[in-house]
Amino acid sequence: MNRKNIVIIGSGNVATHLAIAFLKAGHRITAVISRNENNAAQIAEKTKSKYSSDFNDIPAASDFIILAVKDEAVAEIASKPNAGNAIVAHTSGSVEMNVFQNHAANFGVFYPLQTFHKEKELEIREVPFCIEGNNETTANALSELAKSISSNIHFVSSENRKVLHVAAVFACNFTNHFYTIAENILAEKNLSLDILRPLIKETALQVMDKNPSQLQTGPAVRGDEKIMQQHLNYLAAKPELAELYKKMSVSIKNYKR
């Protein structure tokens, strides 16, 4: 794909990774716009671009304007850029494309289905990008932009993207929360989460090759009521966790059927 002039709105984890990936792919980051100028300055330094907190500083000759901001901020910010002929797109998994309906001629979604952290590098070529455009030309242009940094591209409607986002919360956010609970349970007995890391790693690796429904283990799927009661006895002093344990065990049993 030809070199494109890209404006990044936002200065968080997603904005940082995308800006760097675009630069490495040969594109030009013409501006980083963010209310947090300190964060914007950091991205600008890495990408040799300008930065500002003023939406009027968006260069006129932009090809793409990418809103990499929190989901709840997309609707507010959607009306601020003067997009002109540029394609404007957000990176949200839960916000509809039509948030740009009355604010831009060419708009869409550029959603990377991954968890990002500024301080951790990731192989962005493997990250799934979910693309949607308000017309075929726009959708194809966003797809080509995504292909310049990733080999995992999907055209996904706003409705199906919401389904993906729900599934991702279960697969990622809830799973990580359970890791946190496990960490706290171990810490009470001065045990380290390091003991569980090989188990966590092996479970994740197995899911890469098989369906999770084929891999379920543990007392709930075996119907081992004695072991489950022992666990509940231990959690008796933590009624919230005990209730969570019961509900998860019931859910596992139901999915077994």
CATH number for 243: 1.10.1040.20
Asked whether residue 31 falls in the same domain as residue 132, the answer is yes
Measured CA to CA in angstroms, residue 175 lies from 7, 151, 182, 183 at distances of: 34, 26, 11, 12
What is the average pLDDT value for the chain, to the nearest integer?
93
Asked whether residue 106 falls in the same domain as residue 146, the answer is yes
Measured CA to CA in angstroms, residue 47 lies from 2, 116, 148 at distances of: 18, 18, 17
Asked whether residue 106 falls in the same domain as residue 58, the answer is yes
pLDDT tens string 85-99? 899 999 999 999 999
Asked whether residue 110 falls in the same domain as residue 201, the answer is no
Asked whether residue 20 falls in the same domain as residue 142, the answer is yes
pLDDT tens string 201-248? 999 999 998 999 889 999 999 999 999 999 999 999 999 999 999 999
Measured CA to CA in angstroms, residue 14 lies from 6, 43, 44, 69 at distances of: 15, 11, 14, 8
How far is residue 55's CA from residue 82's CA, in Å, rounded to a whole number? Answer: 8
pLDDT value of residue 256: 64
Q: Which residue has the tokens 């890495």?
A: 46
Asked whether residue 16 falls in the same domain as residue 130, the answer is yes
- State residue 124 phi and psi, 5-degree precision: -70, -20
- pLDDT of 257 above 60: no
Our measurement of the distance from residue 219's CA atom to the centroid of its chain's CA atoms, rounded to an integer in Å, reads 32
Asked whether residue 141 falls in the same domain as residue 68, the answer is yes
pLDDT tens string 44-95? 999 999 999 999 889 888 999 999 999 999 999 998 888 788 999 999 999 9
How far is residue 241's CA from residue 191's CA, in Å, rounded to a whole number? Answer: 19
Query: Which residue, 99, 128, 156, sits at the end of a domain?
Result: 156
* Exposed/middle/buried for residue 80 (C-beta within 10 Å: 0-12, 13-18, 19+): middle
Q: For the chain, how many residues are written?
A: 257
Structural domains counted in the chain:
2
Q: Is the CB of residue 78 less than 8 Å from the CB of residue 70?
A: no
Give the CATH number, domain containing residue 141.
3.40.50.720
Asked whether residue 56 falls in the same domain as residue 150, the answer is yes
Asked whether residue 142 falls in the same domain as residue 179, the answer is no
Asked whether residue 10 falls in the same domain as residue 106, the answer is yes
Average pLDDT over residues 23-35: 95
Handedness of CA 19, 23, 26, 31 (dihedral sign): positive
- Domain span at residue 188? 161-256
The beta-strand segments (E) located in the chain are: 5-9, 28-33, 50-52, 64-67, 87-90, 106-112, 129-133, 153-155
pLDDT value of residue 117: 81
Asked whether residue 69 falls in the same domain as residue 150, the answer is yes
pLDDT interval class at 144 (50, 70, 90): very high
pLDDT value of residue 110: 98
Query: Which residue, 156, 185, 213, sits at the end of a domain?
Result: 156
Query: Which residue, 156, 188, 216, sits at the end of a domain?
Result: 156
Asked whether residue 78 falls in the same domain as residue 168, the answer is no
DSSP 171-224: IIIIHHHHHHHHHHHHHTTT--GGGTHHHHHHHHHHHTTS-GGGT--SHHHHT-
pLDDT tens string 90-136? 999 999 999 999 899 999 999 999 988 877 778 899 999 999 999 99
The three-state secondary structure class of 136 is: helix
